[in-house]
Chains A and B, each alone.
Chain A
Amino acid sequence: AQKVTQAQTEISVVEKEDVTLDCVYETRDTTYYLFWYKQPPSGELVFLIRRNSFDEQNEISGRYSWNFQKSTSSFNFTITASQVVDSAVYFCALSGPYGGATNKLIFGTGTLLAVQP
């Protein structure tokens, strides 16, 4: 069975603080994809990153970075120097071997990030 756990329900930080959102997953697939999506109050899910199970290199994109560790089945997301505009619900998701193209996504319950000015 596939499962995604985001243990942090809500996180509140002050602007410019760094924050890490945790994601732990379970799957029996040997090939799979992991995702992070951002959901602002408007409701639309905004794609942030996709990672396949064979690529454990950490990735950095501006203030965002992702740490994928297969040994602990984790795919954590760090925002450096957080800004008020980062306030949103963040979802971690898992799919089978065809990524988002044809496989359904299994989402965690989300982490609400509130960045205070």
Chain B
Amino acid sequence: GAGVSQSPRYKVAKRGQDVALRCDPISGHVSLFWYQQALGQGPEFLTYFQNEAQLDKSGLPSDRFFAERPEGSVSTLKIQRTQQEDSAVYLCASSRGDTLNTEAFFGQGTRLTVV
């Protein structure tokens, strides 16, 4: 597709439920980022992939959060045993990652509400 695609757009989960959020980056993009955006706040970095390698996961808030990108394309962010504080918009971004003059393109996000 032309842009970064995320699914689902909206997800309501009961507390304690596991969820999986999908990101389809722009074709050929090497770098992929996940961000978490709480209501009224700016996005906060969660994790970064270069192809299939997860090079930085310093932003993952707990071991309940897990991300993968097994074939270097589609990525999945999984949250186990969801809690109310996990409610946020989860944004995915991708970039060519091969030069200094590229920027990250963002998807529309998945809004997760934990009830």
Contact = CB atoms under 8 A, between A and B. Distances in A.
How many chain B residues sit at the interface, stated as a range, is: 20 to 34
A45 B92 CA distance: 10
Among A50, A52, A99, A105, max chain B CB count under 10 A is at A105
Given A102-B50, A109-B42, A44 B106 contact: yes
Interface stretch (B20-28, B60-68, B69-77, B96-104): B96-104
Interface residues of A, number: 25
B8 interface: no
Given A43-B89, A43-B109, A44-B108, A100 B102 contact: yes
Contacts of B109: 43-44
B43 A105 contact: yes
Contact of A91 (B42, B45, B89): B42
Nearest to A106: B45
B56 A42 contact: no
B33 A35 contact: no
A101 B59 contact: no
B33 A104 contact: yes
A99 B102 contact: yes
Nearest to A112: B40
Residue among A45, A46, A98, A108 having the largest count of chain B Cβ atoms under 10 Å:
A45
B54 to A, nearest CB: 13
B108 A42 contact: yes
Q: Which 4 A-B pairs have the closest CB atoms?
A: A107-B42, A100-B103, A45-B106, A104-B45
Given A43-B111, A101-B99, A105-B104, 9 more contacts: A43-B108, A45-B93, A47-B104, A101-B97, A101-B98, A101-B104, A102-B95, A106-B45, A107-B42
Interface of B: 31, 33, 35, 40-45, 48, 50, 56, 59, 89, 91, 93, 95-109, 111
